[in-house]
Amino acid sequence: MARLLEGKPIAEKIKEEVRRQAQSLKNKPILASIQAGENAGAAAYVKSQQKIAFDLGLDYQLHKLGQDTTESVLIEFIKKLNADKSINGIIIQMPLPGQIDYKKISQFILPEKDVEAIHPANIGKIIFGETKMLPCTPAAVMELLKETGVDLYGKEVVVVGHSEIVGKPLALLLLDKFATVTVCHIGTSKAGKLEEHVKKAEILIVAVGKAGLIKGEWVKEGAIVIDVGINRVEGKIVGDVEFEAAEKRASWITPVPGGVGPLTVTMLMRNLVEAAKLQQEP
């Protein structure tokens, strides 16, 4: 039976360190958050970010823009925040209104203030292992792996999902630790090869958004399973892996909810303090 790999206790330890570092800075770090339009999911996320920021002694400024905000208005707004020396980090809440292209917009955030590490310059730095500001979800997964004590060197790691915010940057972080990384995606499934790859995984990380995609019997005996997926099924939140069957085979497994989720906002705040430190250095 697998040991449960919970995010909350790890998040608490990291928060302690973030709080300590924030206190040692000359000015309180400020995160500017832009929310364009009304969305229940974004509103809930903002609330949780706000709560954690204040709890850590950080400032959180919410800027609400209308549903009809145009790309050019949003770009001008971002530029204003870029130029404001008191602001250390900028985050754009998703989803954005349909007329705004997130990929285009995110490139206008100054890389030094890009606390989600989504700017091409920051993604590029990951390739060279040069940055402490990592994308939040991949960073959360790396913290969970660290907690298991596993040595990633030479390990067979399978990542299912190749999005720009999770799968792709995560694969780079794992390579940096000399893991042997296989990245699966919709093409792998369509080719009927997902099961064959998953079965090889000593470490399995799934970030797709499809409940029950990974069958419990595919999980290798003793594997570490990290389930990033979030799905609502019959009013309950579940991951992408068949939890009950997988937990009988794995050595460690993350619960959903309670695994990756509690760590991601903590990673965001760690990035904010990291950004503030770099900006405040003489």
Cβ nearer to ligand NAD, comparing 100 with 228? 228
Q: Are 134 and 142 in contact (CB under 8 A)?
A: yes
Structural tokens at position 200:
């090889």
Q: Minimal distance in Å, beta carbon 141 to ligand NAD?
A: 9
Q: Minimal distance in Å, beta carbon 35 to ligand NAD?
A: 18
Cβ nearer to ligand NAD, comparing 45 with 77? 45
Q: Minimal distance in Å, beta carbon 160 to ligand NAD?
A: 5
Q: Are 280 and 27 in contact (CB under 8 A)?
A: yes
Phi, psi of 192 (to 5 degrees): 70, 25
Cβ nearer to ligand NAD, comparing 11 with 58? 11
Phi, psi of 228 (to 5 degrees): -90, -20
Cβ nearer to ligand NAD, comparing 33 with 264? 264
Q: Minimal distance in Å, beta carbon 117 to ligand NAD?
A: 13
Q: Give dist(CA 95, CA 39) in Å, integer.
A: 7
70: DSSP letter: -
**Pairing of β 231-233 and β 236-238:** antiparallel
Q: Are 55 and 84 in contact (CB under 8 A)?
A: no
- In the complex, which residues of this chain contact ligand NAD (CB under 6 A)? 137, 160-163, 165-167, 184-186, 188-189, 194, 207-210, 213, 228-230, 260-261, 264
Determine the longest span between alpha carbons in the chain, in angstroms: 56
Q: Minimal distance in Å, beta carbon 239 to ligand NAD?
A: 8
Cβ nearer to ligand NAD, comparing 81 with 226? 226
Q: Minimal distance in Å, beta carbon 107 to ligand NAD?
A: 18
Q: Give dist(CA 81, CA 79) in Å, integer.
A: 5
Cβ nearer to ligand NAD, comparing 15 with 277? 15
Q: Minimal distance in Å, beta carbon 111 to ligand NAD?
A: 21
**Pairing of β 203-206 and β 156-160:** parallel
Q: Are 56 and 15 in contact (CB under 8 A)?
A: yes
Cβ neighbour number for residue 151 with a 10 Å cutoff: 10
Q: Are 52 and 265 in contact (CB under 8 A)?
A: yes
Cβ nearer to ligand NAD, comparing 58 with 160? 160
Residue 130: alpha-carbon gap to chain centroid: 18
